[in-house]
Structure 1
Amino acid sequence: MKSSSAVLLPGTASDEVFVASVFARPLAAAGFALVAPASRDVRGHLAALDAAWAGTPLVVGGVSLGAHVAAAWAVRHPERCAGLLVALPAWLGPAEGAPAAAAALASASAVAEGGVDGALTGVDGWLGEELRRAWPRYGARLADVLREAAGTPAPTPAELAGLAAPVGIAACTDDPVHPFEVAREWVAALPRAALRTTTLAALGADRESLGRAALTAYLSARD
């Protein structure tokens, strides 16, 4: 794995297709090659990061839960992390009470009761399109994956305070599931971090807007 590679993980019940749509071209323009593992749960995400490690520090990160997992891996293995790209962080520390965790639990119940189609009734626009594409790929494991995500802690502020690598954070200012204030709390906790923003409307029209925001923030924190 070359040092110019970035290993990025998907959010809850999302997939590598969405990660590539967000990050591949912005990273390529900055000289990075995207590695988007097809992992489907927290254990798989951690295994993918371990597999990517080949003795040279990596840029790692992801979207929402994927960003949390990558940050936790970096906290655990600081010598392996050259930097972090954190898109849409959803909570710090325990997930309890976070809007994204509540949404994942509600989705798990809806999937268990009515399947994917029933759970996504009324979910329209680009988000509905993404979920209708990604969720069926999880098959019978979908509800369990959603529940696992809702119970998975992110790094605490104290843990992030010990991470010396540069961190770029991207947030949508109008996202109630991934509150902008949470992104600001991540930035405040980290020694070398920068924040850039976009909106859900911009993300719907251009997936790469989120990747550009995270990458611009990372380059600012690195420099």
Structure 2
Amino acid sequence: MPVNLRGVTAVLLPGTGSDDDYVFRAFSGALHELGASLVTPPPQPHRLVDGYRAALDQAARSAPIAVGGVSIGAAVAVEWALARPSRAVAVMAALPAWTGAPQSAPAALTARHSAEALRRDGLGATTAAMRASSPQWLADELTRSWAGQWPSLPEAMEQAAAYVAPSRAALERLAVPMGVAAATDDPVHPLEVALEWVSAAPLAALRTVTLDDMGADPAVLGAACVAALQAAATHQGP
């Protein structure tokens, strides 16, 4: 049966350097259509991962919740759902970045490089360099969110780059449906990682978008995640 999210609180966590504004725009349309109540905790860059865990714990105090996020937000959400199987009803994982230890994952390398540049060159110069090498829409998003998390942004990026995501063995124990969304042309969040997550979890499905799709409308990412979730729940994966 499809996942019934009517009246359920869905907590969606931002990716590294991103913010709650983006996650809300990405997921609000699809989740509100299902009658869910969306919570998008703002990142606390000085305690990025612990802040996300605390927000999930707080939201689940009165009733089970749906959880998810983008990149590291997705990984923390899955970790939380694995640790509290009675408190999670579904997972929505957008753009998973790596499985297990980060090692040389592109997203971890990018976060480490950005943290080093921010500490060395400052926010203005690092933002300018980022804008020169990023699609316009992404540059605009990160310019806003980076400024909002300064001066603790390098610390957040370093925390993210060191985070150990759920392993394949852990994903095999996930007891709730998981919808995964990936961009087919995103070198920082490889499609192969999303495929690994979906192949490992017992109830999981994948839907894909492109970076241009996301640039034109961030809501396509959330819609893809929700569509994948419903496919996972009805055994229509991968």
Q: What TM bracket, shorter-length normalisation?
A: over 0.9
Residue identity matched to 1:203: M
Q: Which residue of 1 aligns with 2:108?
A: 101
Structure 1 gap segments, 5+ residues each: none
Cα RMSD, aligned residues only? 1.2
Tell me how far apart the structure 2 counterparts of residues 75 and 3 of structure 1 sit (CA, whole Å).
22
Tell me how far apart the structure 1 counterparts of residues 170 and 64 of structure 2 sit (CA, whole Å).
19
Q: Give how far 1:55 is off.
A: 4.2
Q: Deviations over 1:43-87 (max 9, x none)?
A: 100000000112422110100000000100111111111010000
Q: Which residue of 2 aligns with 1:12?
A: 16
Counterpart contact for 2:123–2:150, Cα < 8 Å = no
Counterpart contact for 1:13–1:146, Cα < 8 Å = yes
Q: Which residue of 1 aligns with 2:29?
A: 25
4+ residue stretches of structure 1 with deviation over 4 A? none
Tell me how far apart the structure 2 counterparts of residues 83 and 102 of structure 1 sit (CA, whole Å).
30
* Amino-acid identity (%): 45
SS at match of 2:93: strand
Q: Which residue of 1 aligns with 2:203?
A: 192
Write out aligned runs for 1:117-156 (5 A): 117-120=124-127, 121=129, 122-124=132-134, 125-156=136-167
Q: Which residue of 1 aligns with 2:3?
A: none
Match 1:90 to one of 80, 91, 97: 97
Counterpart contact for 2:7–2:35, Cα < 8 Å = no
Count of residues paired in the alignment = 222
Tell me how far apart the structure 2 counterparts of residues 22 and 133 of structure 1 sit (CA, whole Å).
16
SS at match of 1:163: coil
Tell me how far apart the structure 2 counterparts of residues 91 and 3 of structure 1 sit (CA, whole Å).
32
Structure 2 gap segments, 5+ residues each: 1-5
Residue identity matched to 2:125: G
Residue identity matched to 1:146: M
Counterpart contact for 2:15–2:72, Cα < 8 Å = yes
Q: Give how far 1:113 is off.
A: 1.5
